[in-house]
Structure 1
Amino acid sequence: MGDLAPGCRACVAGDWSCLFVNGRCNARCFYCPTSQEETGLPTTNAVSFRAPADYVAYLEQLGFRGLSLSGGEPLLTPGRSLAFLGAAKRHFGDRLHTWLYTNGIMVDENVLCRLRDVGLDEIRFDIGAVGYSLEKLRMAVGIIPTVTVEIPAVPEDFELTSQKMNEMAEIGVGYLNLHQLRLTPYNLERFLARPYTFLHGEKVTVLESELTALALIRHSFDAGLGLPVNYCSFVYKHRYQKAAARRRSAIFMRKPYETVTSAGYLRTLAVVAEDSRLADIQGRFKDRGIDPALWSLSPNGQRLLLAPELVVSIYCRGLKLFASYAECLIREHASCRHQFKEFRLPSGRKIVVERWLAQEFALYGDAREAFVSRYLHHGIYHQGDLLSDETDRPVGVETYECIVEGLQDYY
């Protein structure tokens, strides 16, 4: 409800990189999903960085416009956090929105001023780690341009959180972000000691946490607090962040006849027919002066790979249509089992973007007609658009074409 925090806008747009500065934390929150005992190296997307210059080059080459520093607790290694943040802001300036997640334990006025001086745009406090104290937020308001609270919605703390929301609005907190409790092997025992209902899904989440988040939004609205409240459910975060990571990597691997779907997969369309038919189609493309980059004959000569607009232009029932979807991921090293591209960092290190086949669909009859009509004639579809006619929907394709919308199903 209300505006999104600037960092959240970068996240939704898929323009954001989260650097886990360390893996160590000085708080003991019952809801923490992982162990936080090892300092480790700064890491993002399974790629570690020793040198800030390498990370800045990574941000530039992949086109990021948002950077968050997380952990662990990034202020347990203040020199490291300031070095990476400062290097990024010196290179990008206002082109890069930066924010830092903290439990606030290490925050004081000196720390806040040092963060401000190297260019931090936004700071996010998990006040659940410190008994919902707002002391450090009061200190941060007026020093860091944007002060945000980001906490899980804890059912037992509904009344306390409601009270604190009133205070947040009064002291100048810009935004409140709520997210959903998630069950993991690490926090299992602590969660089982509480009267929670666990939901099946992509991960195990807590029903009462979602209901609490929605009730807190209603409280803000009813009380007229003027405090923007955003509920980032687990399924929303999981789906959009994974799609954004796939999409950013897919851009590196895309050939002119391929399409990056809204779900972030790299889609390749191919028609199969007799050799003479494929040769005839290519001849017609050449006669019409169509850019040869928009089609390609497969190495075995059995498939003609086509851009979507060409599939539509030559489409007829005599052709078999195949749609394949690849997932592209950034890796420190190539597996050498899939196609990959490398890019070099200032230190001489190489990082690879690797593509591997996620799924292929052979489309015949009504399913083929529906696919062409839904995805090729009209571009990107939202999930709701695809549910209007269950009888001719290409089963399974929508998983790779669009991001599922809405809250998770309860079961």
Structure 2
Amino acid sequence: MVRETPYFSYAVGELPRGCQLCVRGEKLVLFTTGACPRDCFYCPLSEKRKGDVVYANERPVKTVDEAIEEAKIQEAKGAGVTGGDPLARLDRTAEYIRALKEAFGEGFHVHLYTTGALATKKALERLYDAGLDEIRFHPDLFNPNSRLFEVEIRNIRNAFDFDWDVGGEIPSIPGQFERMKWYAEFLDKLGAKFLNVNELEFSETNLRALIDRGYKPISNESAAITGSLELGLKLLEWGGENTSLSYHLCTAKLKDAVQLRNRLRRMAKNVARPYMEVTEEGTLRFGIAEYDDLDELYTLLVEGAEVPEEWLYVNRERGRVEMPEGVAVELADAIEGDVRFFIVEEYPTFDRLEVERVPLP
């Protein structure tokens, strides 16, 4: 009954619509705030996102228009609204959802993750009226004695008063099988559609808390937690036999090797300059030259080396002149002195993360 998907994940039943778009790289990741009513020990949120900030993918945004522009670059067919807890900034979250729906149409699928702590009937009505299609709850399942847990469970019930898809999304934490089963049964009795289970991973911010609790990585090359995947599979096998929910076990490999790569590919073809090569992985590959004086370097390349101006781009923000890879290889062999040539690969994202730099002799 448990099947392996083409995306290195595992499923029982049909993947939620939000996941179907996500694995194809078609979902904008809309982070509406780092604020959250909880402080989970396994939270992977980076330090720069723990404040009250907004991101569309890797792009910090100040306005709805910037988020819409990012969605256009990605050719997104939907958005996943996340945080923190997006309901901690309800007005903002509803505004962004409504604006995306107005910009791209009702077919633009929006799902949202929330703890449930702030999901009052009025809050849920605001989200529904804004156009939210799918809501996923992650209550304080692994701390059932917390003051928020009872509130979250009560609020989850409210979500079934609206005509949208309701499900759960939780991490697979070794040693917590009984709590995970309890939540699956709870959702099933309410008539939820699905339960997503995420393979637990180390991050810079949860590393110490996980190590202190005895969790270990599966290898030196992976951030995935030993036993998390196996526990997730165990839950899917049990759930497929004992509930009517659909299940999706989202693996660390899916996020890195499939979802991110597919999103990068969609973005790369829209942001690549003529001198950039789009690789199979969705990165941008090209040559660069660095020198203390960019204007002097540009003059040297155009007048001294006779490189056509249309082959060059002066990137003052990065302090370099960019060019086709083959041109950089030829120039590195011909120009002597302090000019430094490299072949670089970057993500086509707003932050243009550099993933490789090869110096040319």
TM-score, normalised via structure 2 length: 0.71
Give distance in 2, aligned partners of 1:165 and 1:174: 11
Paired letter, 2:252:
F
Q: Deviations over 1:337-372 (max 9, x none)?
A: xxxxxxxxxxxxxxxx79986679xxxxxxxxxxxx
Among candidates 18, 22, 44, match of residue 33 of structure 2: 22
Among candidates 185, 191, 201, match of residue 210 of structure 2: 191
3-state SS, counterpart of residue 15 of structure 2? coil
- Is residue 72 of structure 1 aligned with residue 84 of structure 2? yes
Identify the residue that residue 230 of structure 1 maps to in structure 2.
248
Q: Compared with structure 1, are the counterparts of its residues 57 and 250 closer, same or farther at alpha carbon in structure 2 (3 Å cutoff)?
A: closer
Paired letter, 2:82:
S
**1:174-213 map, 5 Å:** 174-213=193-232
3-state SS, counterpart of residue 105 of structure 2? helix
Identify the residue that residue 156 of structure 2 maps to in structure 1.
137
**1:237-386 map, 5 Å:** 237-252=255-270, 253=272, 260-261=279-280, 263-265=281-283, 299=327, 326-331=345-350
Paired letter, 1:250:
A
Q: Compared with structure 1, are the counterparts of its residues 300 and 221 closer, same or farther at alpha carbon in structure 2 (3 Å cutoff)?
A: closer
Q: Deviations over 1:51-106 (max 9, x none)?
A: 11221132124311111111111111111111111111111122310011110100
Identify the residue that residue 10 of structure 1 maps to in structure 2.
21
Q: Compared with structure 1, are the counterparts of its residues 300 and 13 closer, same or farther at alpha carbon in structure 2 (3 Å cutoff)?
A: closer
Instruction: Using the TM superposition, give the Cα deviation of residue 31 of structure 1 relative to its aligned residue in structure 2, in angstroms.
Output: 1.1
Paired letter, 1:8:
C
Give distance in 2, aligned partners of 1:112 and 1:14: 27
Among candidates 152, 156, 165, match of residue 175 of structure 2: 156
3-state SS, counterpart of residue 175 of structure 2? helix
Paired letter, 2:264:
R
3-state SS, counterpart of residue 29 of structure 1? coil
Identify the residue that residue 41 of structure 1 maps to in structure 2.
53
3-state SS, counterpart of residue 69 of structure 1? strand
Among candidates 79, 84, 88, match of residue 100 of structure 2: 88
Identify the residue that residue 97 of structure 1 maps to in structure 2.
109
Q: Compared with structure 1, are the counterparts of its residues 97 and 249 closer, same or farther at alpha carbon in structure 2 (3 Å cutoff)?
A: same
| Higher RCO by CA contacts (8 Å cutoff, separation 6 or greater) | 2
Q: Deviations over 1:298-329 (max 9, x none)?
A: 558979xxxxxxxxxxxxxxxxxxxx994442
- Is residue 111 of structure 1 aligned with residue 123 of structure 2? yes
Give distance in 2, aligned partners of 1:249 and 1:354: 14
Number of residue pairs matched by the alignment: 291
- Is residue 172 of structure 1 aligned with residue 191 of structure 2? yes
Paired letter, 1:25:
C
3-state SS, counterpart of residue 221 of structure 1? helix
- Is residue 57 of structure 1 aligned with residue 75 of structure 2? no
Instruction: Using the TM superposition, give the Cα deviation of residue 249 of structure 1 relative to its aligned residue in structure 2, in angstroms.
Output: 2.7
Q: Deviations over 1:262-315 (max 9, x none)?
A: x324589xxxxxxxxxxxxxxxxxxxxxxxxxxx99558979xxxxxxxxxxxx
Give distance in 1, aligned partners of 2:220 and 2:13: 28
Q: Compared with structure 1, are the counterparts of its residues 358 and 302 closer, same or farther at alpha carbon in structure 2 (3 Å cutoff)?
A: closer
Judge which range, 132-141 or 116-125, deviates more. Answer: 132-141
Give distance in 1, aligned partners of 2:178 and 2:19: 26
3-state SS, counterpart of residue 330 of structure 1? coil
Q: Compared with structure 1, are the counterparts of its residues 190 and 355 closer, same or farther at alpha carbon in structure 2 (3 Å cutoff)?
A: closer
Identify the residue that residue 9 of structure 2 maps to in structure 1.
none
Residues 347 and 355 in structure 2, CA contact (< 8 A), matched pair in contact too:
yes
Paired letter, 1:136:
N
Instruction: Using the TM superposition, give the Cα deviation of residue 175 of structure 1 relative to its aligned residue in structure 2, in angstroms.
Output: 1.0
Paired letter, 1:42:
V
Q: Give the unaligned 5+ runs of structure 2.
A: 1-11, 287-323, 332-342
Give distance in 2, aligned partners of 1:298 and 1:193: 50
Identify the residue that residue 218 of structure 1 maps to in structure 2.
237
Identify the residue that residue 312 of structure 2 maps to in structure 1.
none
3-state SS, counterpart of residue 137 of structure 1? helix
Paired letter, 2:261:
A
Paired letter, 1:235:
K
Q: Compared with structure 1, are the counterparts of its residues 111 and 196 closer, same or farther at alpha carbon in structure 2 (3 Å cutoff)?
A: same
The two structures, once aligned, show a CA RMSD in angstroms of 3.1
Paired letter, 1:77:
R
Looking at CA atoms only, which structure, 1 or 2, has the larger radius of gyration? 1
Residues 52 and 84 in structure 1, CA contact (< 8 A), matched pair in contact too:
yes
Residues 122 and 144 in structure 1, CA contact (< 8 A), matched pair in contact too:
no
Instruction: Using the TM superposition, give the Cα deviation of residue 139 of structure 1 relative to its aligned residue in structure 2, in angstroms.
Output: 1.2
Q: Compared with structure 1, are the counterparts of its residues 61 and 44 closer, same or farther at alpha carbon in structure 2 (3 Å cutoff)?
A: closer
Give distance in 2, aligned partners of 1:193 and 1:267: 41
Give distance in 2, aligned partners of 1:301 and 1:235: 34
Give distance in 2, aligned partners of 1:31 and 1:245: 26
Q: Give the unaligned 5+ runs of structure 1.
A: 269-295, 304-323, 333-352, 361-411
Residues 198 and 250 in structure 2, CA contact (< 8 A), matched pair in contact too:
yes
